């Protein structure tokens, strides 16, 4: 068995000089997750320059049974890109695979490498007068490979689906170093099993995505955005149905926001103010958009909101009159996590249920929080159009962070039990990583979990790919 120093020496020879990182100023942030909940130590940190180098590194690691932890922008919430503490795993950064390989306008596709920052791909699409709908808070630093490996969600899922649904083709380096090149731009291809889809959302446990071909859409030229006070979550669901029909199904975002989030953001985030004059228990931030240049979407949105007002669903609403106001509405929504941090500790749940079940879920699970967590305040917000809530509990004034954190295990168990009862998911968009491995074992369909293990074994028989993430090590 070669010793670590010898392995490191050989690894160094597989990449170019720029691909072997030793400066702790560079590597330290890569060895912890961005919320600093996990810290690891690596045998080495490599950043190959291209797919061929990734292939060499994986073949070597497979031969020597070295665990490989792929990493993109390192913006995940579940520690999926952080190595363990053993100093025996290789951290494989994809950041240098950052080329846009092609844009095919007539095919509405972009082909790009895993290390491309999402915002750069959005810009590249826009430069070609096209639209890449994948959009999330971390888009300025997250990378395509991570987006695909975690099947990222974000703000436009209701209209365009999760990251998985945007992928037409993939280039993947398999654990043994062979390169699976199915980087096609085909809308239709019924030639056997959907192998590609397995890598999407696998969090690097089956292979390393090095490039992908993504669907693009016509550039958006009209947009209308409203901040709406709704009677309750059931009214929000009814408004969503009305708006989908009335708008020609061009609702691109539909976010539920509770009063407490308006208060927290107004208090902690400069420039955020309550857009409406009277307080309401619940709000919706909704946006409709279209590629038609001259679309009277404001009028359409106002008409739908007026009907909802007459029907008692809506008590007040503001339709953004200009870009500045639209940005203010969005800043309120997007700064909810930051305002929570500034307020104190919080317990997070990234859950989904069928859209129709959201009101009852909030009612039932919300009542439980009220009764069992006196030291916390419920802050349930998120992508109502997808049935996805960030069902968080914030530290209440007069209590300490420790007092809130003491109840976290019990709260998590209760909330996730409710989710299961409602036919929902305990991880709607953030994935499993190392944070939720045991939750997966507890809540997954046991048969589906068994099939996942069979797939893992079939694709990565030596278990070198991101060991212990998603599935427990055998």
- Build a one-symbol-per-residue string for 237-276: x at contacts with its own copies by CB under 8 A, - elsewhere: xx-xx--xxxxxxx--------------------------
Identity of the residue, 415 or 452, whose beta carbon is nearer to its own copies in the bound complex = 452
Q: State the nearest-atom distance from the C-beta of 295 to its own copies, in Å.
A: 7
- Distance CA(201)–CA(454), nearest Å, equals 16
Q: State the nearest-atom distance from the C-beta of 326 to its own copies, in Å.
A: 19
Which tokens belong to 173? Answer: 């380096």
Identify the residue among 157, 264, 314, 435 touching its own copies (CB under 8 A). 157
Q: Does the footprint of its own copies cover residue 178 (CB under 8 A)? A: yes
Contact 125, 110 (CB under 8 A): yes
Contacts of 129 (CB under 8 A, 6+ apart): 105, 219
Identify the residue among 292, 341, 396, 412 touching its own copies (CB under 8 A). 292
Block residue for tokens 């280039």: 171
Contact 92, 54 (CB under 8 A): yes
Identify the residue among 30, 155, 174, 211 touching its own copies (CB under 8 A). 174
The stretch near its own copies (CB under 8 A) out of 153-161, 263-271, 306-314, 403-411 is: 153-161
Contact 112, 99 (CB under 8 A): yes
Identity of the residue, 197 or 403, whose beta carbon is nearer to its own copies in the bound complex = 197
Identify the residue among 27, 122, 141, 291 touching its own copies (CB under 8 A). 291
Q: At what angle do helices 408-421 and 358-372 cross, to 10 degrees?
A: 150
Identity of the residue, 153 or 463, whose beta carbon is nearer to its own copies in the bound complex = 153
Identify the residue among 4, 49, 273, 458 touching its own copies (CB under 8 A). 458
Q: Does the footprint of its own copies cover residue 425 (CB under 8 A)? A: yes
Within 332-391, the residues that bind its own copies by CB under 8 A are 352-357, 383, 385-388
Q: State the nearest-atom distance from the C-beta of 292 to its own copies, in Å.
A: 4
Identity of the residue, 236 or 393, whose beta carbon is nearer to its own copies in the bound complex = 236
Identity of the residue, 294 or 310, whose beta carbon is nearer to its own copies in the bound complex = 294
- Build a one-symbol-per-residue string for 190-209: x at contacts with its own copies by CB under 8 A, - elsewhere: xxxxxx-xx-xxx---x---
The stretch near its own copies (CB under 8 A) out of 18-26, 162-170, 340-348, 394-402 is: 162-170
Check residue 439 and give left, alpha or beta (phi > 0: left; psi -120 to 50: alpha).
Answer: alpha
- Distance CA(370)–CA(347), nearest Å, equals 14
Phi/psi of residue 129, nearest 5 degrees: 60, 35
Identify the residue among 71, 290, 375, 466 touching its own copies (CB under 8 A). 290
Distance of CA 125 to the CA centre of its chain: 20
Identify the residue among 24, 218, 312, 409 touching its own copies (CB under 8 A). 218
The stretch near its own copies (CB under 8 A) out of 15-23, 53-61, 407-415, 424-432 is: 424-432
Within 317-336, the residues that bind its own copies by CB under 8 A are none
Contact 466, 435 (CB under 8 A): no
Identity of the residue, 333 or 383, whose beta carbon is nearer to its own copies in the bound complex = 383
Burial 9-22 (b: 16+ CB within 10 A, else e): eebeebbeeebbbe
* Torsion sign across C-alpha atoms 258, 406, 367, 355: positive
Q: Does the footprint of its own copies cover residue 137 (CB under 8 A)? A: no
Check residue 453 and give left, alpha or beta (phi > 0: left; psi -120 to 50: alpha).
Answer: alpha
Within 300-319, the residues that bind its own copies by CB under 8 A are 300
Identity of the residue, 63 or 189, whose beta carbon is nearer to its own copies in the bound complex = 189
Identity of the residue, 235 or 262, whose beta carbon is nearer to its own copies in the bound complex = 235
- Distance CA(412)–CA(221), nearest Å, equals 43
Would you give the DSSP letter of residue 314?
A: E
Residue-level length of the chain = 474
Q: Would you tell me how many other CB atoms lie within 10 Å of the CB of residue 324? A: 8
Contact 316, 277 (CB under 8 A): yes
Within 58-117, the residues that bind its own copies by CB under 8 A are 104-109
Q: Where are the beta strands (DSSP E) in 220-372?
A: 222-230, 251-258, 282-290, 314-319, 346-347, 350-352
Q: At what angle do helices 297-310 and 233-246 cross, to 10 degrees?
A: 140
Q: Does the footprint of its own copies cover residue 428 (CB under 8 A)? A: yes
Identity of the residue, 108 or 339, whose beta carbon is nearer to its own copies in the bound complex = 108
Q: Does the footprint of its own copies cover residue 421 (CB under 8 A)? A: no
Identify the residue among 322, 371, 447, 474 touching its own copies (CB under 8 A). 447
Contact 367, 406 (CB under 8 A): no
């Amino acid at each position: 068995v070669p010793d670590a120093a010898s392995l490191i020496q050989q690894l160094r020879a597989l990449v170019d000089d720029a691909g072997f990182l030793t400066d702790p100023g560079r590597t330290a942030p890569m060895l912890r997750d961005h919320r600093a909940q996990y810290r690891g130590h690596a045998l080495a940190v490599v950043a190959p320059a291209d797919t061929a180098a990734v292939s060499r590194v994986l073949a070597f690691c497979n031969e020597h049974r070295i665990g490989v932890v792929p990493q993109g922008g390192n913006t995940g919430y579940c520690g999926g890109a952080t190595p363990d503490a053993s100093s025996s795993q290789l951290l494989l950064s994809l950041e240098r695979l950052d080329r846009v390989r092609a844009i095919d306008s007539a095919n509405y596709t972009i082909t790009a490498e895993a290390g491309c920052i999402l915002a750069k791909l959005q810009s590249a699409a826009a430069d070609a007068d096209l639209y890449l709908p994948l959009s999330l808070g971390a888009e300025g630093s997250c990378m395509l490979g991570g987006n695909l490996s975690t099947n990222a969600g974000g703000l436009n899922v209701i209209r365009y689906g999760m990251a998985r649904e945007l992928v037409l083709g993939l280039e993947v380096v398999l654990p043994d170093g062979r390169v699976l090149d199915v980087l096609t731009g085909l809308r239709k291809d019924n030639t056997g099993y959907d192998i590609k889809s397995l890598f999407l959302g696998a969090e690097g446990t089956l292979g390393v995505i090095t490039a992908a071909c993504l669907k693009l859409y016509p550039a958006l030229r009209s947009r209308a955005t409203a901040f709406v006070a709704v009677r309750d979550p059931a009214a929000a669901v009814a408004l969503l149905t009305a708006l989908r029909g009335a708008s020609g199904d061009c609702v691109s975002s539909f976010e539920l926001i509770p009063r407490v989030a308006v208060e927290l953001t107004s208090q902690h985030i400069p420039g955020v103010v309550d857009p409406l004059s009277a307080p309401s228990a619940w709000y919706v931030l909704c946006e409709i958009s279209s590629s038609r240049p001259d679309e009277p979407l404001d009028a359409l949105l106002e008409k739908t909101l007026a009907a909802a007002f007459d029907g008692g669903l809506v008590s007040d609403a503001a339709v953004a009159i200009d870009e500045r106001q639209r940005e203010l509405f969005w800043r309120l929504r997007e700064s909810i996590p930051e305002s929570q941090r500034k307020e104190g500790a919080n317990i997070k749940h990234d859950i989904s249920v069928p859209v129709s079940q959201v009101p009852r879920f909030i009612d039932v699970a919300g009542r439980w929080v009220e009764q069992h967590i006196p030291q916390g305040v419920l802050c349930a917000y998120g992508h109502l159009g997808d049935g996805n809530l960030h069902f968080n509990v914030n530290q209440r004034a007069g209590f300490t962070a420790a007092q809130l954190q003491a109840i976290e295990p019990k709260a998590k168990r209760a909330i996730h039990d409710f989710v299961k009862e409602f036919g929902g998911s305990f991880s709607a968009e953030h994935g499993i990583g190392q944070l939720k491995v045991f939750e997966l074992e507890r809540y997954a369909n046991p048969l589906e979990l068994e099939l996942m293990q069979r797939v893992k074994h079939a694709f990565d028989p030596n278990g070198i790919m991101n060991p212990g993430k998603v599935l427990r090590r055998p």
